[in-house]
Amino acid sequence: MAEETQSKAPETGAAPAASQQGGPGGSERGPRPGGRPGAGGPGGRGKFFRRKKVCKFCTEKIDAIPYRDVRLLQGFVAERGKIVPRRLTGVCTTHQRRLTRAIKQARNIALLPFATKH
Amino acid sequence: MSRVYEVMFIVRPDVVDEELDKLIAGFESTVTTGGGVVKSTEKMGRRKLAYLVRKFADGNYVLLTIEADGALVAELERRLRVSEPVIKFITVRTDEEEKRIAKIKAIRATKKKVSAEVAPAAPAPVAAPVAPAVEAAPAVEAAEPAQASA
């Protein structure tokens, strides 16, 4: 269990899906106006906000997340049907909450599965 | 004050088209006789279900957008529940959401107009004290470059 938490810690620093040299390397080398994604994201200004991933909904100015839009929702659902946590997708809190609501509504109307077996 | 709802329901795949139309017409008449307005009806066609519902693997999706009050929606849901060909339904209230979206769009429209006015005058007073007329947009723009340089 200790190993798990240790291996998770460096991951939360940088987006694991995107290619990176590791958290610290990315924040030094990346554009220091990481305040740019900050403006798009939750408006965080701290130097420790080295999250390069920006909230897709904030940048593209998508207002509504309808439960009917299965293709949009499927991007945030894992293979087994679980909802992907926002530290992996980079979504901001408000949109993650709306997204979760939409996914659960879609699950109820059989547009998305509750759980799939491998 | 009528509320806007979206009702989506799934009809079992082995009903004929005419029966499906009759069914939908029946629900629409329930709405209209109860004092509501059917804004739109959309037959989304046959789709594969994400999981088995009553042993069916696919179904006919129908989307109804209605304007009604709560009691009428309860009545409609009761009918959907009782109706045999309908295997699943969900009702979502959408008027608050629409209001919020409209508000955001309105704010965005005013912001755009403001920045369009400021654009011709922008080059000269970059660092100089901002014109009192418009405070919001230049303040935001000034804050960003200041932040980036700091």
Q: What is the CATH number of the domain that holds A102?
A: 4.10.640.10
B52-76: average pLDDT: 92
| Interface size between A and B, measured as CB pairs under 8 A | 44
Report whether CATH 3.30.70.60 matches the domain B3-93: yes
Please identify which residue in the block is written with the tokens 């408006």: A43
Cβ distance A33 to B49 less than 8 Å, yes or no, reads no
Same domain, A45 and A63: no
Q: Contact B30/B75 with Cβ under 8 angstroms?
A: yes
pLDDT of residue B105: 87
Which residue is closest to A40 within chain B, CA to CA? B144
pLDDT of residue A60: 85
Same domain, A62 and A113: yes
B96-109: average pLDDT: 87
A62 in reach of chain B (CB within 8 A): no
Same domain, A82 and A46: no
Q: What is the mean pLDDT of chain A?
A: 72
Domain interval for residue A75: 55-118
Bridge partners, residue B38, by sequence: B66
Give the angle subtended at the CA of B77 by the CAs of B49 and A98, to the nearest 5°: 60
A 70-109 → B contacts, CB under 8 A = 105, 107-109
B 87-116 → A contacts, CB under 8 A = 88-90, 92, 97, 100-101, 104-105, 108
Same domain, A95 and A79: yes
Same domain, A59 and A100: yes
pLDDT tens digits along A21-44? 444 444 444 444 444 444 444 444
Complex-level ipTM:
0.71
Whole-model pTM: value is 0.66
B139 in reach of chain A (CB within 8 A): no
Q: How many domains does chain A have?
A: 2
Same domain, A91 and A68: yes
| Spatial CB neighbours of A106, under 8 Å, sequence gap ≥ 6 | A67, A68, A70, A73, A112
Q: Where are the domains of chain B?
A: 3-93, 98-149
